[in-house]
Amino acid sequence: MIVHVGSTLAIAESSTRRWRLYRMTPLSTPLSIVASDEGLPPIRTSYPLAPEPAEVQAMAQHLDVDLRMLTAALHAHGR
């Protein structure tokens, strides 16, 4: 799952059960970060999938997204 607000990109991974947060530069886009030939850039910050980090909670609230439902779906998908 990918959440993008402003210059912050948050990626939730079901395989590692972690949130990875990246700061985007003015020249980058979410696609340029995830589809790079070199793979994902070094991790800025990493958090366990649950509980959701405050920064991700704020992003979800800004987007009016039910983060708990999405995280539950991600957990179910990773089984």
Q: What is the per-residue pLDDT for 42?
A: 66
State how many domains the chain has: 1
Residue with tokens 């340029």: 32
* DSSP 8-state secondary structure symbol assigned to residue 25: P
* Residue 55 belongs to domain spanning: 2-77
Q: What is the per-residue pLDDT for 54?
A: 93
Q: What is the per-residue pLDDT for 43?
A: 65
Average pLDDT, the chain: 84
51 preceded by cis ω (within 30°)? yes
**Below-70 pLDDT ranges, the chain:** 36, 39-43, 77-79
Instruction: Kindly report, residue by residue over 32-45, the tens digit of the pLDDT.
Output: 887 767 766 666 78
pTM metric for this prediction: 0.78
